[in-house]
Amino acid sequence: MSSGEDDLIARYFKPLAVAPGALGLSDDAAILPGHGDDMVVTVDAVVEGVHFLSDDPPDTVARKALRVNLSDLAAKGAEPAGFVLTLALRAPDVAWLTPFAAALGEDARLFNCPLLGGDTVSTPGPVMISITAFGRVPPGKMVRRDGARPGDLLIVSGTVGDATLGLALLQGADSPGLAAAARATLVERYRVPQPRLALARAVRVHASAAMDVSDGLMGDLAKLCRASGVSAVVEAAAVPLSAPARAWLSRDAALIGRLVSGGDDYEILCAMPEDRLAAFQVAAREAGAPVSVIGRVIAGQGAVELRDASGREIRLERRSYSHF
């Protein structure tokens, strides 16, 4: 006599549990062999109606739930070791679970981060997916937020602000003149983050501090600065933008504030001494990940400033996104 939960796990998630330590999801716990590394542990949850939309395709929900955690591992300089999953569902729904589990399995393989275990629970409320992900670093080598020093360069991967525009589109925002393909690109950036695991090693080797940008570039930079006991200046013109974001910005100059404070970028923000830049750029190029110098760390107490081309501060209404 097998319970509904066991059936659900066997059907949808057992095929994903390919790591030996997962024990086929048939035990109470998983084994994560130590191998002498430090384990980096991160946990992020996504809630229907808050972090993803009810009508987002289930495969994108799965990818986002895992990738927001992989993004944290990448920013900490860690190689993925596996993850566990808590899935809260109103009822087991084949049409939703099948693509959800398939995409989760594809991403687990793609990023070499196997499912180790999980819990499925019934809830009358919205779907919620909480993932705890594990990564390995050599002992003492996790890249923290608190190591930035005055004089360090500030670097961000990829492009900033696309996801917040994608969400705006999904919520019905008007985007005069934006082609369908450009709109689709922005929506995809909201729904399916690209964790920068290819940069993990280079960040570990070169960065003095790093974090992933998930709640808005300027707000997250302020957190990094507070943790490090420094301040920072960002050049607006140096913030990397995608072609669709650039096109949108060209019609609405005030949009820059939103681009640097909107959530869901899942890019890496890091600081490093200037003499590390060339080697980091080479490593990033080899990893196929674009990186941009956006500003500089200065002495201070956690103040962050966005400057225009003439050196004047661009005032922001808010610097980050909060769900509460």
Q: In the range 71-130, which residues lie near a copy of itself by CB under 8 A?
A: 72-73, 75-76, 78, 84-86, 88, 91-92, 116-126, 128, 130
Where is 235: in which H helix or E strand?
A: strand 230-235
Distant-in-sequence, close-in-space partners of 23: CB < 8 Å, separation ≥ 6: 17, 30, 31
Question: Which of 10, 14, 15, 23: binder of a copy of itself (CB under 8 A)?
Answer: 23
Residue 228 within binding range of a copy of itself, rule CB under 8 A:
no
Residue 258 within binding range of a copy of itself, rule CB under 8 A:
no
Residue 180 within binding range of a copy of itself, rule CB under 8 A:
no
Q: List the interface residues with a copy of itself, window 196-215 (CB under 8 A).
A: 211-212, 215
Q: How far is the CB of 135 from a copy of itself (least distance, A)?
A: 8
Question: Which of 19, 61, 222, 241: binder of a copy of itself (CB under 8 A)?
Answer: 222
Q: How far is the CB of 185 from a copy of itself (least distance, A)?
A: 27
Give 84 or 167: the residue with its C-beta nearer to a copy of itself: 84
Residue 33 within binding range of a copy of itself, rule CB under 8 A:
yes
Residue 303 within binding range of a copy of itself, rule CB under 8 A:
no
The whole-angstrom separation of Cα 8 and Cα 116 is 16
Instruction: Report the interhelical angle of 58-75 vs 180-191 (nearest 10°).
Output: 60
Q: How far is the CB of 291 from a copy of itself (least distance, A)?
A: 18
The whole-angstrom separation of Cα 15 and Cα 134 is 20
Q: How far is the CB of 282 from a copy of itself (least distance, A)?
A: 26
Nearest Cα neighbor of 14 from 93, 95, 88, 108 is 108
Q: Which residues on neighbouring strands pair with residue 122, listed in sequence order? A: 89
Give 128 or 283: the residue with its C-beta nearer to a copy of itself: 128
Nearest Cα neighbor of 263 from 11, 52, 115 is 52
Cβ–Cβ under 8 Å, residues 277 and 153? yes
